[in-house]
Chain A
């Protein structure tokens, strides 16, 4: 099942960001500089094309309450424990060379999160998976590992995304769904965004491309439903999906408590 999930979501996830965001790298900008290999710390090596991998994992359970930074650190430790020969960045504080997908807000689950890593030599993706999977942090199970070409585009942080608000059984009520329509349907809708440099009011016009209510699948999910939302790429005055979801949930008032999970389903292919 996990494989099926990943195959489908990975198709949806973009692999073609034009500009690499250095902020997403685990280290500083030095991650893009020369790397040193595991066998010889002093020797500069150029990674072979086969050495870059994209690791897909889920963020679920109590792991959703780990911050993005703490999650990155936990994944880097998993990489070290795996015994895979990873490349490291240079400088006073070397770290494994890897980069991560766009940050998930605290409390948000992720159905197909990504992390790119670089190894010192050619190795099969299946071996990477075998070694890394048992070392993944609790609540962050590995979905699959892909080999990337050296020229594959980096992950970008400001991509279109799909989110799911999962409701408990018996919810949402008609009234709640009406509120959702009012919230997204108002072309004048403005949300308050709190930032380090002050509070801003931002329009969500153009930020939400579609939303729909759908009944969840089988198993324990029978009788429950979700709100699926497609968001446009953030930036240039368009607030991020997490900010919009926070405002939406607040707008729902007491109905908020019927939301049991906020999950990023996919980071969508760029158009």
Chain B
């Protein structure tokens, strides 16, 4: 056999991480998570003015499905002055190797250590990733506390769980509230110019830069705290979505290329963080989207396009869009996936379509079992809607119907709790009567009050009470064929602390990190005892953050102008109270 020149290079160099050997890599689960080199990865830019690493504080498989990361990566890569890279949380097996060998966590593209970047932008998709953020900083050789960093990369955060930045304020140099499409390039612009003027070399250079960042709308800088206004990307509707997405080398949770058809949701569910965080609603046109879907498939070779939004069946031109994507066919085996369906007429129409709409699983979120409670929380669907959709699955290939419910919603009574199993029983009965061979899967989550929603004042019930209610539901569900899963009550209590917390919560996160907490959202990884000890050490309790707030009370996050006036949220909360009382009385 003749060896080609490419075949003779030093194998260690091919891996590109000094110190990391072949045997290290094959000893870990899915080593491709840590190597980059995927299709559409950004090309090296040796002459770039700044380097930015976008971080997702969870596993590669989850992060590579995250649309925010795709948007920002492609946006920054389009600027020849910016070299953009990615990093994800390493799983325990790989972390152990990094620590043992003293290899710092690195960006996947160039393999440079995190501490050598100019900017590290961390998206916070959900609260239970906060300890992963600290672990990534530590592994990347970056001091954890913002006020301990006098050099090194600027550490910034964004994403829906940064809406209330106070719990993570200690760890970041700047936190973006709102959309990143304009704010992040503006920040990069300031960093480029600051570097060009020798800012890095000045004693107070870093502080000057931080102060400068406070002038960018949407950024809140913990060391220079000022009122801040949530950033809205007004040009979203006419903007191009990411079209050259990186195709992961490891199978991810969503094997589809996402196409964001609209941003924002005006359904007004009173518990929903995303519903308020992404306002106002901005729609892309079906014509543009049809073209984008074709380009996306051609650029990636991926046959599945996901029509993404917070509530896809609310898109006014959904039928036109689906018809357009189907008829503008790129691949013979292409298909469309439509997540985030509401149980409405548009969904019924979609279910009737036999063509190229992928039928793998249907997920709906009735959230509450009784009509009364659905009215209280602002979920605008009726039992009839739900049963009609279930009946409509008869003609489809959908194998699984998954339903999400919340337990402990404000003003929930025992009869509301019982109504969950009653509703599931009716759905099961309908399916049996119609001889539908569908798997029914029920997911139960304790209610977590979130800032900037009408329920930001509401109480989260104590864990024992939530547990009792959950057991009540699961016992009743034994009479049905449904498979049931649930989230732990204590974990959701912590989520409430991390979501509605104030500056004191940073110490709690730090303490949990020091006790080895990581991947807290992953059931088997969650260390309850370590969190309990951390609460004790820091003198904090879940109940002080879970309690009901009075409408007169000043909330820690009131300094943020979220563009939805507090008065509106108050009025919505009052309406919920009235609805609850009106029906009860």
Interface residues of A (CB under 8 A from B): 1-2, 4-5, 8-9, 36-38, 41, 58, 60-63, 65-67, 69-70, 73-74, 76-81, 83, 86, 88, 92, 94-96, 106-107, 111, 135, 137-139, 141, 166, 216-217, 219-221, 256-257, 259-261, 265-266
Contacts and interface: CB of A to CB of B under 8 A. Distances in A.
Contact of A65 (B12, B32, B298): B32
Contact of A5 (B2, B26, B297, B359): B2
Nearest to A95: B333
Contact of A62 (B8, B35, B332): B35
B11 A166 contact: yes
B189 interface: no
A38 B332 contact: yes
A141 B23 contact: no
B46 interface: no
Contacts of A220: 5, 8-10
Contact of A70 (B41, B249, B297, B299): B249
* Pairs A-B, 7 closest by C-beta atoms: A77-B301, A81-B301, A107-B26, A80-B301, A65-B31, A94-B333, A260-B11
Interface stretch (B14-22, B210-218, B370-378, B443-451): B14-22
15 contacts: A2-B4, A58-B7, A62-B14, A65-B26, A77-B301, A83-B298, A88-B332, A94-B332, A95-B333, A107-B31, A219-B3, A219-B5, A220-B5, A221-B3, A266-B1
Interface string B454-493: 0000000000000000000000000000000000000000
Given A79-B301, A221-B8, A260-B12, 6 more contacts: A8-B1, A60-B6, A70-B250, A107-B25, A219-B8, A220-B10
B382 interface: no
Contacts of B333: 88, 94-96
A4 B332 contact: no
Interface of B: 1-12, 14-16, 21-23, 25-26, 30-32, 35-39, 41, 247, 249-251, 297-303, 331-333, 359, 397
A139 B297 CA distance: 22
Contacts of A221: 3, 8
Instruction: Give the one of B9, B14, B297, B397 with max A CB within 10 A.
Output: B14
Contacts of B15: 62
Nearest to A83: B298
A92 B8 contact: no
Contacts of A96: 333
A58 B298 CA distance: 24
Nearest to B247: A77
Nearest to B30: A67
B337 to A, nearest CB: 12
Contact of B301 (A58, A69, A135): A135
Contact of A256 (B5, B6, B14, B23): B23
A96 B303 CA distance: 10
A261 B22 contact: yes
Instruction: Give the one of B10, B22, B301 with max A CB within 10 A.
Output: B301
B31 A106 contact: yes
Contacts of B298: 81, 83
Given A217-B8, A257-B21, A86 B332 contact: yes
Nearest to B31: A65
B22 A260 contact: yes
Contacts of B23: 256-257
Nearest to A37: B332
Nearest to A265: B1
A74 B247 contact: yes
A106 B26 contact: yes
Given A61-B14, A257-B23, A259-B22, A77 B8 contact: no
A95 to B, nearest CB: 6
Given A111-B1, A259-B22, A216 B39 contact: no
A205 B368 CA distance: 65
